[in-house]
Chains A and B, each alone.
Chain A
Amino acid sequence: MNKHFSVIVVGGGHAGCEAALASARLGADTLLVTLNISTIALMPCNPSIGGPGKGHLVREIGVLGGEMATCIDETCVQMKWLNTSKGPAVRSRRAQADKYLYRQRMIETLFKTPNLVLRQGHVTELIVENGIIKGIKLETGLIFTCEKIIVTSGTYLNAKIILGKSSWSGGPHNQSAATGLSDSLIKNGISIRRLQTATPPRVLDTSVSLDKLRELPGDVDSGGFTWEDRLRRYENQISCFLTFTDERSIEAVKRHLPNSPLVLENITDEGPKHCPSIDRKILKFPQMVTHQIFIEPEGWNSRELYLQGLTTAMPPVAQEDILSSVVGLENAVILRYGYAIEYDALSPGQFRKTMESRIVKGLYTAGQLNGTSGYEEAAAQGLIAGINAVLALKNKAPYWPSRTKSYIGVLVDDLSIWDRPEPYRITPGHAEFRLTLRDDSAERRLIEDGYNIGLVSQSRYEKILAWKNRIENEIIRMSDLSLLPKTENREMMQKLNTGDLKKRVSCVELLQRPGLSYNQLMGLLEENKELSNSDEVYSLETDIKYKGYAERENERIVQTQFLEKIRLPISFFDPKLEILSQETKLVLKSDKYDDLGQAVRKGSVSKTDLALILAVYGQKVQDYSLNGEEDVK
C-alpha cells in the first residue's frame, strides 16, 4: 500500500471534502484520512445550506469548481430566495438539505475522483522536520508521508460534550473526539484556544402538530447554486414551519436556568454570537417573550425535525419542559437532545489568506479549526486550502482571493486577522463591496480564476464565457439604443406608468426608471431580444439600474486593491520608508499580515505612517494604472 502522498487531508467534514477534491482534481495524489468514513460530510447542526453571505459563498465555490454547490443542488428538499424584496445586493438562496443524501452524494463523489484515496483513521501526530511538514502518524501507528497537509478537524479536537451539569469527551453525533492531534500542533509551536457551539433538540415528525403552525414553503423557480442549475425548477419540495415561544416557554427556561451551562459556567463563553442558545437569549433579553422557532425537515425520508431557535445545552428534563410549552410542540418526542460542544481551535493570527500556516511550512488548516462556524465557511476555506496546497506543490504563485472580488476573499481576508473571542460567520455586512459581489455576478467575477486555477474544464469555461459575453454584449448594445418620442411609444410609456418621453431617451436611462423592464423596452423598440432567460435578463437589468452605484463602489475598490497589492513583509524596503515610526517599520518587515490592507484594517499602521507610505508608493500607483495591468490575484 502506498504510504506517500503529495497532499494529505485530515478530516472529512465540509472543509476536508472540498480540500481533498480540489487537490485530487488538480492532479495531486491525495489521501483523505478521517475518523469515520460513514460520517463524511456530516451536517451535525442545521439541515440547511446558504442564506445571505453563506449563499454567496456557495455560488462562488460552484464557479471556482468546488463541490458543495452541485451537491446541495442535487440533494435539497427545499430551495428558497431570501431578501428578494430588499434588493439584488443582498438577495441570496438558501436550501434545506437532505442531510443523508448530501453525505451519500459527497462520499460517492470522493470515491469516484481519480487521484483520491480514502482511509478511516485517527490522526494523532504531525511529523514535522525543521519546521517543514513531512507526514502524519495515526493512532494505529501507521505513518503516511507527504509534501503538504491540510488539517480540517472541525469540532473534534479534544471535543467535550456538555449537557446541563454533565460533560464527557466526545464529538458530534455521539462520535468520539480526536485526541492527540492538538498536542502535536502545540508541540510544533501552534497555539490553541477553546471555542464552543451548540445544537437544538431533534423531534419525531409525527409528534408535532404541524397543522397548527404557519407553513413556509420554498420557491419553485429559485434555481440552484451552480451555474448549470441556474434555471432548474424544484417542483417537489418540503416545507418548513414556524412557531413561537410565549410566556410559558420563557417561564420554563427561567425555571431551569440554574442548570444551564451558561449559569453553571462549565463551558467556555467563546461561542457563536449569531446563534445564541435559548437560555442565552432569555438571559440577555429578559423582557422579550416571543422568539421564533423554525421547524425544519432533515431529509425526504428522515423522521427527524430540527428546531431552529431552540439551541440549548440545558439538561434533558429542561428541554422536555421547554418544548411542551411551545404551540405545536406540546407532545413533541425528542429523538436527540440538544447539546453543546467545546473544542480546540487555532488561536488567532496563525495562518495566511492562502490557509497556509505561518508557523509550519507545508501545513494548511481550514474550517471550524480556523475559528469559523458553518458548513459554507468551512467548504470555502477547504477549497482555497486545497488549491493553494497544490499550487505550492507545483511551485506556482498562490491564489490570493481578493475581498474586492468575492465573498471567499472577504472570508479569508477577515479570518486570517480575526481575533475576537467568538467564531467567525460570513454575512453581507462583512463585505464592503456587496453590489459588486452580488449573488448573480459570481460567474462573471470568478470564472477566469476558476479556469486559470484548473478546476473548471475547458468546455464548462467556454459555456460560461459565452453566457457571460451574451449578457455583457447586450448591455453594450443597450447603451447605444434609444427610444424616439413617437406617439405609440409615448402612449405605451403612459400605460406602463414610467413617465413621459419628451425627447429621444437612451435605453440605459429608460431602464433606470422604475417599472420598465428589458422585455417591455425591447418590445417598444421592436428590437431582437438577445437575452431570453430570466437569469440573464435579471443580470442585465440589475447592472444597468445600479450602474451609478457600481461606479461609485468601483472607486473604492481600486483603493482597496492598491493596499492589498502591497504584500507583507515588503520585499523591497524603500529607504524613503525610514521616516516611518519604529512600530510601523516592524509591521512592514514582519510576517504578521499578508498585505498592507490587513495591517491598516487592524490599526497596526498609524494614520501618519499610512499617509507617508502612500506618499512613497503614490507614484507607483500611477505607473500601475498607466500600464493597465490586471490585478495579480
Chain B
Amino acid sequence: MCKPKIDTIAAVSTAQGRAAISLIRVSGPKTFEILNRIFVKGGKKAFPLPYSAFFGKIVDPSTKQVIDEVIVTTFLSPHSYTGEDIAEIGAHGNPVVVGRIIQLLIKNGARAAEAGEFTKRAFLNGKMDLLEVEAISQLLSANTATQATMALNQLDGLPSKFVAEIREKILKHLVQLEASLNFPEDAIESIDEYQVGRELRKILNELYIFADNAKNGSLVSEGLKVALLGKPNSGKSSLMNCILGRDRAIVTDIPGTTRDTLEESILISSIPVKIIDTAGMRKPGDKVEAIGIERTLKAVEDAYAVIGVFDGSVVETEEDKLILENLKKLNKNIVLVCNKTDLPQKISREIFEGFKTVDLSCKEGTGLVDIFAVLTDIFKTDGIADFYEMVLLGAQQAAALDKAVCALERAVDGIGKNYQDMLAIDMEEAVRELGRVNGETVDMNTLDLIFERFCIGK
C-alpha cells in the first residue's frame, strides 16, 4: 500500500560543502519532538514559536557532547513551506559537522529526505502550484545566492504577474474575434486585424525581453563559461590561479603543461562564472596533446566569453596570429590579456587592434582588477548583472514560452494574409501556452517532467 507517509524527514537544504552556513531542514509531525531531544536552547523564548529563530546548541543526548552552535528557525503547520511543522537548523558549513547533525536527527526519529521530497510534500499539501514547483526545483539545485534570488523572484510571483497581464491583453482581443467568428450575423464589430497585429507586435517585444531574461536566467544558473585561450606558456594557467586566488592549475615554464581543460567556479560581481583553463594552442606534439587541443576548441565553442592570453615579453608568433584570426571570427564576448607586463615588452601592440585588451602581470598581480572590471562590464551590457530581473524557467516552461512566442509570431505574420480563424487559433495557443508558463493549466507533458524529477507516486 502506498498511503501518504507522514513521517518526519531531514536533509541539508543548502548545497553541500560550499556555504559558510549550512541549512538543515526537518519537516513532519515529529519535528519539534526530535529537536527537543538534541537542541539545547539559549535565551528565554518558548520553543517552538511560529516564525521564530532560536539560538542554541546541538548536543548529542547520549554523549552530552556539543556538536555545533546553531540557529534554529521554526515554522508551524500549516503555515510553512511544506505545510507541516518545520525546523531549519543553521549550522556551520563544515561537512563533518553537518553530517553529524543529520545522523543525530535520524537516530532520534527522522528519516533522510529523498531529493525533492520537501517540495513534493509542499505540492501534495497544496502549498504551491506547478510554476512554484519548477522554481523550487531550481532552488534546490541552486548553488549560489544569485540563483536562489532568481528562484525567489519566481516565488514572489513577479514573472507570474507579468505573464498573466500579457495573457489578459491577448485574451481581450481573442474574445472579440471569437464573438465575430461564432456569431457571424450578430452585427458584432469585427476586429481591426491590423490594429490587433500592431498590439500583438508590442506584446511580442515585451515577451522577447522576458524570454531574454529567462535565457539569461538559465545561463547564469548554470554559471557563465569563460574560456582562456592562448599559445603554450602564455600564462593561462597562471591567470586562472590569479583569478581564483589559489593555486589550482599546474604552472611550469615548460610549454604544453596543461593537457586537458580544467574548470573552476567563482563569483564575479555575484555572478557565478566558470573559468576554463585550456591546453595551449599549437601544432600538437603527441596524441594526448592533440586530444587536449580538440577539447580546447570545444571549450571555446561552448563558452559565453573567451579571454585570449598573450605573452607580452616575446615577439608575437605565427600561433598568436592564428589565435587572433580565430578570435575575430567568433561571435562571442572576447577580451585580450597581454600578460607578463613585469618583463620588457617585445610584442607589437598593433596585433591587439579592435579588441578590448587588458595589460596584466600574473607574477605581480597587476591588472587583475581590470580584467574583473571588463568582465563585469560585459555582464552588464548583456543584461546579466541585474539578476533581480532574471527569471528562471524550467525546461517545460521555457518550451511553453517559446511556443507562445511562435504562435504570436505566426499571428503577426499572418495579418492580412491568413483567415481570421487562423489568427484566433494562434492567439488561443499563445494564451494557452502563457498559461502553462504560469502553471495555470495542468498539462501532462509538464507533469511528466516534474514527476520525473520528484518521483511522486512510487
Residues of chain A at the chain B interface (Cβ within 8 Å): 52-53, 82-83, 85-90, 274, 290, 292, 294, 427-429, 434-435, 514, 546, 549, 552-553, 559, 562, 575-576, 578-579, 600, 606-608, 610-612, 614-616, 618, 621
Whether the Cβ atoms of A552 and B421 lie closer than 8 Å is no
C-alpha gap A408/B128 in the complex (Å)? 38
Q: Are A611 and B451 in contact (CB under 8 A)?
A: yes
Q: Is B255 an interface residue (CB 8 A)?
A: no
Decide: B443 and A575 in contact? CB cutoff 8 A.
no
Extra 12 A-B pairs, beta carbons < 8 Å, given A83-B184, A428-B181: A83-B421, A86-B419, A294-B185, A428-B182, A549-B425, A553-B425, A579-B4, A600-B442, A611-B447, A614-B448, A618-B444, A618-B448
Which residues of chain B are within 8 angstroms of A615 by Cβ–Cβ distance?
447, 451, 456-457
Contacting pair B422 A608 (CB below 8 A): no
- 30 A-B residue pairings within 8 Å (CB atoms): A82-B185, A83-B181, A86-B181, A87-B419, A87-B420, A87-B422, A88-B419, A89-B425, A90-B421, A292-B186, A427-B183, A434-B421, A514-B417, A552-B429, A559-B444, A562-B444, A576-B457, A578-B1, A606-B126, A607-B130, A607-B442, A608-B126, A611-B451, A612-B457, A614-B444, A615-B451, A615-B457, A616-B457, A618-B451, A621-B444
Q: How many residues of chain B get a CB closer than 8 Å to chain A's CBs?
A: 37
Q: Does B3 contact A (CB under 8 A)?
A: yes
Please list the 3 inter-chain residue pairs (A to B) with the smallest Cβ-Cβ separation, ordered nearest first: A87-B419, A87-B421, A89-B421
Residue of A whose beta carbon sits closest to that of B455: A615
Q: Quick check: is B305 within 8 A (CB to CB) of the other chain?
A: no
Cα A52 to Cα B421 with chains together (Å): 12
B2 to chain A, nearest CB (A): 5
Q: How far is the CA of A606 from the CA of B128 in the complex (A)?
A: 12
Q: With a CB–CB cut-off of 8 A, which chain B residues contact A553?
A: 425
The answer for the CA separation of A621 and B447 in the assembled complex, in Å, is 14
Question: With A87-B420, A607-B130 as given contacts, are A579 and B2 in contact (CB-CB < 8 Å)?
Answer: yes
Task: Give residues 350-381 of B contacting A (CB, 8 Å).
Answer: none
Contact with A along B111-140 (1 / 0, CB 8 A): 000000000000110100110000000000
Residue in chain B with minimal CB distance to A610: B442
CB neighbours (8 Å) of A428 from chain B are 181-182
A539 to B54, CA, bound (A): 73
Q: Compute how far the CA of A618 lies from the CA of B126 in the bound complex, rounded to whole angstroms.
A: 22
Distance in Å: Cβ of B203 to nearest Cβ of chain A: 20
**Which residue of A83, A90, A514, A579 contacts B3 across the interface (Cβ within 8 Å)?**
A579
List B residues 379-422 near A (Cβ within 8 Å): 417-422
A428–B448 CA distance with the chains assembled, in angstroms: 31
- Whole-angstrom distance from the CB of B48 to the nearest CB of chain A? 27
Q: How far is the CB of A377 from chain B (nearest CB, A)?
A: 15
Nearest CB of A to B428, in Å: 8
Q: B187: CB under 8 A from chain A?
A: yes
Which single residue of chain B is at the shortest CB-CB distance from A606? Answer: B126
In the complex, A618 Cα to B178 Cα: how many Å? 34
Report chain B residues within 8 Å CB of A607.
Answer: 129-130, 442
Distance, CA A170 to CA B232, complexed state (A): 102
Does any Cβ of A come within 8 Å of B180's Cβ? yes
Q: How far is the CA of A428 from the CA of B181 in the complex (A)?
A: 8
Q: Known interface pairs A576-B2, A606-B126. Does A611 touch B442 (Cβ–Cβ under 8 Å)?
A: yes
Closest Cβ of chain B to A408, distance in Å, is: 18
Q: Which of A292, A429, A552, A616 contacts B187 (CB 8 A)?
A: A292
Find chain B residues with CB under 8 A from A85 CB. 419
Q: Give the distance to chain B from A19, nearest Cβ to Cβ, in Å.
A: 28
Q: Is the CB of B1 within 8 A of A86?
A: no
Closest A residue to B125 by CB, please name it.
A608
Contact yes or no, B178 A578, CB < 8 A: no
Q: Does B151 contact A (CB under 8 A)?
A: no
Nearest-CB distance from B121 to chain A (Å)? 11
- Across the two chains, which residue of chain A brings its CB closest to B443? A559
Say whether B91 faces chain A, with CB atoms less than 8 Å apart.
Answer: no
Question: When chains A and B are docked, how far (Å) is the Cα of A2 from the Cα of B456?
Answer: 62
Complex formed: what's the CA distance from A559 to B185 in Å? 34
- Point out the residues of chain A lying under 8 angstroms from B126, CB to CB: 606, 608
With both chains docked as a complex, state the minimum distance between the C-beta of B172 and any C-beta of chain A, in angstroms. Answer: 16
Closest chain A CB from B178 CB (angstroms): 6
Chain B residues with CB under 8 Å of A292's CB are: 185-187
B450 on the A face (CB < 8 A): yes
Q: For B187, what are the chain A residues with a Cβ–Cβ distance below 8 Å?
A: 290, 292
Contact A52 to B180, CB < 8 A, known contacts A552-B429, A576-B2, A618-B448: no
Residue of A85, A514, A549, A611 most packed against chain B (CB within 10 A): A611
Q: Within residues 249 to 288 of chain B, which ones have a CB less than 8 A from any CB in chain A?
A: none
Residues of A within 8 A of B447 (CB): 610-611, 614-615
Q: In the bound complex, do residue B419 and residue A578 qualify as a contact, i.e. CB atoms below 8 Å apart?
A: no
Write the nearest CB–CB distance from A90 to chain B, whole angstroms.
Answer: 5
Q: Which residues of A contact B4 (CB under 8 A)?
A: 579
Bound Cα distance A434, B457 (Å):
35
* Bound-complex Cα distance A53 to B182 (A): 8
**What is the distance, in angstroms, from A293's C-beta to the closest C-beta of chain B?**
11
Chain B residues 158-202 with CB under 8 Å of chain A are 178, 180-187
Residue among A82, A549, A552, A606 making CB contact with B184, cutoff 8 Å: A82
State the Cβ distance, B71 to closest chain A Cβ, in Å.
33
In the docked arrangement, what's the CA distance between A232 and B54, Å? Answer: 86
Residues of the B chain whose Cβ atoms lie less than 8 Å from the Cβ of A90 = 181-182, 184, 421
Q: Which residues of A contact B418 (CB under 8 A)?
A: 87
Say yes or no: B425 contacts A435, CB within 8 Å: yes
Question: Chain B CB within 10 Å — which of A82, A89, A559, A600 has the most?
Answer: A89
Closest A-chain residue to B432, C-beta based?
A556
| B93 CB, min distance to chain A CBs, angstroms | 35
Query: Distance (Å) between the CB of B31 and the closest chain A CB?
Result: 22
Contact residues of B between 435 and 458, Cβ < 8 Å to A: 442-445, 447-448, 450-451, 456-457
A491 to nearest B CB, angstroms?
Answer: 23
Residues of B within 8 A of A514 (CB): 417
Q: How far is the CA of A83 from the CA of B425 in the complex (A)?
A: 15
Q: In the complex, which residues of chain A have a beta carbon less than 8 angstroms from the beta carbon of B443?
A: 559
Please indicate the chain A residues that have their CB under 8 angstroms from the CB of B422 in the complex. 87, 89, 546, 549
Chain B residues lying within 8 Å of A546, measured Cβ to Cβ, are: 422
State in angstroms the CA–CA spacing of A559 and B129 once bound together.
21
CB-based contact B181/A575 at 8 Å:
no
What is the CA–CA distance of A132 and B422 in the complex, to the nearest angstrom? 49
Q: Which residues of B contact A579 (CB under 8 A)?
A: 2-4, 457
* Cα–Cα distance between A618 and B448 once the two chains are bound (Å): 8
Interchain CB contact under 8 A, A578 and B185: no
Q: How far, in whole Å, are A610 and B124 apart by their CA atoms in the complex?
A: 11
Q: Which residues of chain A are within 8 angstroms of B419 by Cβ–Cβ distance?
A: 85-89
Closest chain B residue, CB of each to CB of A274 = B183
CA distance A274 to B185 in the complex (A): 12
Q: What residues on B are CB-neighbors of A89 within 8 Å? A: 419, 421-422, 424-425
Which A-chain residue is minimally distant from B130 (CB atoms)?
A: A607
Complex Cα spacing A424 to B421, Å: 23
* Cα separation A614 to B451 with both chains bound (whole Å): 10
User: Which residues of A sit under 8 angstroms from B182, Cβ to Cβ?
Assistant: 52-53, 90, 427-429
CA gap between A559 and B448 in the complex, in Å: 12
Distance in angstroms from B376 CB to nearest chain A CB is 42
Min CB distance A273 to B, Å, is 11
B1-14 contact mask (Cβ, 8 Å, vs A): 1 or 0: 11110000000000
Taken together as a complex, chains A and B put the C-alpha atoms of A559 and B436 apart, in Å, by 15
CA distance A88 to B420 in the complex (A): 10
The docked-state distance in angstroms from the alpha carbon of A290 to that of B187 is 10
* Complex: A217 Cα to B84 Cα, angstroms: 70
Residues of A within 8 A of B429 (CB): 552
CB distance from B192 to the nearest CB of A (A): 14
Question: B180 touches which one: A53, A86, A606 (CB < 8 A)?
Answer: A86
Give residues of chain B (9-45) contacting chain A, Cβ–Cβ below 8 Å.
none
Known: A552-B429, A575-B1, A578-B1. A612 touches B181 (CB 8 A): no
Q: Which residue of B lies closest to A515 (CB)?
A: B417
User: In whole angstroms, what is the CA distance A576 to B2 when docked?
Assistant: 6
List the A side residues contacting B129 at CB < 8 Å.
Answer: 607
Measured in the bound complex, the distance between the Cα atoms of B442 and A434 in whole Å is: 21
